[in-house]
Amino acid sequence: MAIENGVPSDPRKQICNDLAELLGQEEGVRVVRLLQHLELCGPAARDDGAPAPASPAATSATPADTAAETRPAPIGIWEPQETRGELAFVRPEPTLLGDGSAQRRVLLPKRSALPGRICFFGESAAAGFFYAPHLTPAQLLQEQLRVVKGPGQYEVVDLARVNESILPLLDTVQAACQLKPDLLVVFAGNNWNLLDIPTVSPQFPSVDTRQEIAESLRASGLRGPAALADARLKNAVESALARLGRIANAAQIPVVVVVPEVNLADWENRQPVMWLPEVPGGGIARWYELYGAAKERLAGGRWDEAAALAARMIELDLGTCSTSHRLLARAEIGRGRMAEALAACRAEVDATRYSTLCFMASPQCTGPVREALLRGARQRGFGVVDLATVFAEHTGSPLPGRRMFMDYCHLTVEGMKVAMAAVTAEILRLGGGAGAPAPDWRQLVKSLPNPQVAPEVDATAKLGAALHNAHRQLAVGNRDDIVEHWCERALAASPGIADAMVELLAARSTPCPAVLTAAQQRIWGTPYRLTLYHGWRSDSLDAPVFEVVGKLLARSGRQSGEASAALLVERQRVGRDAMELAYPAYYHWDPIERFYPDVVRIPNLTQRAIYRSPWPVSSFCLVADGVADVELDLTARLPGEGRPRQGTVTVAVNGRPVGELAAGERWSRARFRVQGQALSAGLNRVTLHWPLTVTDGDTALAQVIARLEQGIAADLHPVFGEVFSLRVQPR
């Protein structure tokens, strides 16, 4: 018998040793995972992180949902305090860079009948992203109510918050009952996907999650994961509304639910396609051929052909790819078929893989969430404002765009005015009783004065919109148009913002975090205070912004293109030391064109040391002086998902090929000389074109399912190429 620590060794230890050896083999863990999946071993919990579904019987308030807490509870970031014997809720001093919450420091429980108190909840759109704290929907609502009903009748307490999600929002609603509101307004739904159910993603580090996704793939093919996400989301929304109902019933106050609309005309969600079955006339290579052809037709105004190509793409990808729907939407817009365009846009939003954490998309309220909100709110007798209907009527178009929206979902001043007019009308309608009937929102829009905002504030908001579009939108078409649009609007609102734009480029011309730069300090001394919500968190050279803003500054005569380029050349040109373009992402042309875990850190998830491309083309920034030759040193490979893959990677600079790398599944390396005259002084674009010799989608998908069943992360989308290193150095 083995002796250990002076006593006979536990015989179970040898069993554990043997079991560990077995688990250390490829099939070992797989066996355990399959047993887990069948709930024959391991904890059976399948915690999807969603709120527990409401019991059908739970129509009355539960103690947890009542406002009658025994101790004061925080309301969001407002902490309860006793001041001169009275309860107050106090928030910390707002941060200089903005913290996403309203700035009112002290909230007091209501003490008198008037003014009637409305507590206003929601996400960044409700918080007035870009214009806050100077102008917010809550401020507008209060002002509109004042104009209609006179002073002292209503007060709106703004509790909306950027990055709000379902559970914290409901917690805030519940806690806000301590303020003794007379009515609740909930304006939310855009974030009701990613932030609330990250556990539907194959990237989420949970064996249970991954096994469920594997199961959904087996059961429903490509549509499986999205269907899983939609079901979870529907569950989460219904639970949320049930809880909202309990809270409102307990407090005996009415609720108005504002169902968001999103930007359909001027926001696009380009995402790569999933693994596709290799069928005759189909497959990934074919899909990308169609993609290229469709874009070309659209550029040429050949709408019918483009529509047909897009429809074929949708057939191939089974409607799972937002890109295909957007191409179709563009074609339908070109053809003047707005109803069809609307359907395609809605399908695009719903197909965007934001909820499955595959790609960094933009939070937009999806169709299932809209329907659940509308249905659930009406069932419970809540007031309802459907902004899709309101905006369509107001603009005369079913596809709201830049007139109502700054970006994917945040409202313009006009958008806020119209939205709040509808809310005002609904609030007054719910008020009912004797007296004049509630005004129609259309009349209110006409009669209410336009919100006044200082030109500097307006310009700053519009510049923020330009930056946000540049950072977050992946367009099928030309994104520069919308970025330029907002930059021009900013300049029109307040020409002095050109100085801030100059400083923006100065800050962006260096890898140093923007907040440390002298440029940011100078901006801080102007009326155009760019904060975190103006993209300061973006850790990249920001090539698209550089290009567009630089062009506009040159056009306006404020700063020449040469001067803008000179900033870059002075600070970042390939000089004495080699520069690495592929890692980290600073020199990526569009950093969000990557898989989600490579863009956003997920806690407990291992990071990668290599760049992976979900697209057949990858682009990087190269800053040169336009004189000296440089050398590109590329180490890359072609992952094959179970089948050997060979192909040629073409390297181009500013659209012109400079060489090729014969690549396979193991790292290959090649060097390319680029002559100085082929480079511009300033920004240059280095592009890698990956071969489309991609593995059969069925085989790849089977591999994905096998990995997920083992609890291992897997990509639902092809990886066209991997780069360990793309170094550039002077020649």
Partner 1 sequence: MNILGLSAFYHESACCLLQDGKLVAAAAEERFSRIKHDPRLPVAAVRFCLEAGGIGLPDVDCLAYYEQPVKKLARQLWSGIPAAAPADLSWLDPLQPERAMREMLGYEGPIRKFDHHLSHAASSFFYSGFADAAILTADGVGEWATTTYGRAQGSAIELFEEVHFPHSLGLLYSALTGYLGFRVNGGEYKVMGLAAYGEPRYEAAVRKLVQVGADGQFTLDLQYFDFIRGTRMYSPALCDLFGAPPRVPESAVLQFHQDVAKSVQVVLEDILLQKVAYLYERVGSENLCMAGGVALNCVANGRILRQGPFARLFVQPAAGDAGGCLGAAALAHVELTGERHTREPMRHAYLGPRWSADQVAELVAVTGIPAKDFRGREAELIDEVVRRLVRNEVVGWFHGAMEFGPRALGARSILANPQDPEVRERLNRLVKKREAFRPFAPSVLASRAAEHFDLDRPTPFMLDTCTVTSPLALPAITHVDRSARPQTVDPVDAPRYAALIAAFERQTGCPLLVNTSFNVRSEPIVCSPVDALFCMGSSGIDTLVLEDFVIDRAMLPENLSSLLESWHVEAAGPFSRRKSAISEDLYTFV
205-234 residues near partner 1, rule: CB under 8 A: 205-208
How far from each other are the two terminal CA atoms of the chain, in whole angstroms?
A: 69
Angle at 283 between CA 280 and CA 284, to 5 degrees: 160
> Which residues in the 56-115 window bind partner 1 by CB under 8 A?
95-99
By CB under 8 A, residue 532 contacts partner 1:
yes
Q: How many CB atoms lie within 10 A of CB 589?
A: 21
Give whichever of 178 and 520 is closer to partner 1, judged by the CB atom.
Answer: 520
Query: What is the C-alpha to C-alpha distance for residues 411 and 127, in angstroms, rounded to an integer?
Result: 10
Q: In terms of Cα–Cα distance, which of 725, 714, 724 is closest to 641?
A: 714
Show contacts with partner 1 in window 480-519 (CB under 8 A). Answer: 510, 512-513, 515-518
Q: Which residue stretch of 381-389, 451-459, 655-663, 709-717 sits at the interface with partner 1 (rule: CB under 8 A)?
A: 709-717
In the complex, the smallest distance separating the C-beta of residue 667 from partner 1, rounded to whole angstroms, is 5
Stretch that binds partner 1, among 36-44, 238-246, 406-414, 676-684 (CB under 8 A): 36-44
Residues whose CB is less than 8 angstroms from the CB of residue 361 and which lie 6 or more positions away in sequence, other chains included: 269, 271, 322, 352, 353, 354
What is the rounded CA–CA span in Å between residue 599 and residue 664?
26
Shortest Å distance, C-beta 458 to partner 1: 24
User: How far is 31 from 26, CA to CA, in rounded Å?
Assistant: 9
Residues 6+ apart with CB under 8 A from 659: 632, 650, 651, 670, 672
Taking CB under 8 A as the rule, does residue 188 contact partner 1? no
Residue number, 114 or 605, with CB nearest to partner 1: 605
b (16+ CB within 10 A) / e for 242-265:
bbbbbbbbbbebbbbbbbbbbbbb
Give the residue with the Cβ less far from partner 1, 178 or 538.
Answer: 538
**Residue 566 in 3-state DSSP?**
helix
* 45 touches partner 1 (CB under 8 A): yes
Q: Tell which one of 81, 103, 163, 646 touches partner 1 (CB under 8 A).
A: 163
Candidates 175-183, 447-455, 463-471, 708-716: pick the segment binding partner 1 (CB under 8 A).
708-716
Least distance (Å) between residue 284 CB and partner 1: 21
Tell whether residue 381 is a contact of partner 1 (CB under 8 A).
no
Contact with partner 1 (CB under 8 A): which of 8, 42, 53, 300?
A: 42
Rounded Cα gap, residues 517 and 515, in angstroms: 6
Q: At its nearest, how many Å lie between partner 1 and the CB of residue 17? A: 5
670 binds partner 1 (CB under 8 A): no
Quick one: which segment of 13-21, 234-242, 329-337, 495-503 binds partner 1 (CB under 8 A)? Answer: 13-21
Sign of CA dihedral 120, 125, 127, 132: negative
Give the nearer residue to partner 1 in terms of CB position, either 114 or 512: 512
For partner 1, the binding residues in 299-328 under the rule CB under 8 A are none
Binding residue for partner 1 (CB under 8 A) from 8, 39, 40, 47? 47
Residue span binding partner 1 (CB under 8 A) among the ranges 69-77, 108-116, 337-345, 602-610? 602-610
> Is residue 595 part of the contact set for partner 1 (CB under 8 A)?
no
**Binding flag, residue 695, partner 1 (CB under 8 A):** no
Does residue 39 interact with partner 1 by CB under 8 A?
A: no
* CA–CA distances in Å: residue 70 to residues 61, 66, 82, 107, 175: 16, 11, 15, 19, 12
Give the residue from 281, 109, 123 showing the smallest Cα distance to 193: 123
Q: Does 524 bind partner 1 (CB under 8 A)?
A: yes
Backbone angles phi, psi at 284, to 5 degrees: -70, -45
Site for partner 1 in 615-634 (CB under 8 A): none
Instruction: Return the closest-CA partner of residue 62 out of 247, 301, 321, 287.
Output: 247
605 vs 572: CA distance, rounded Å = 32
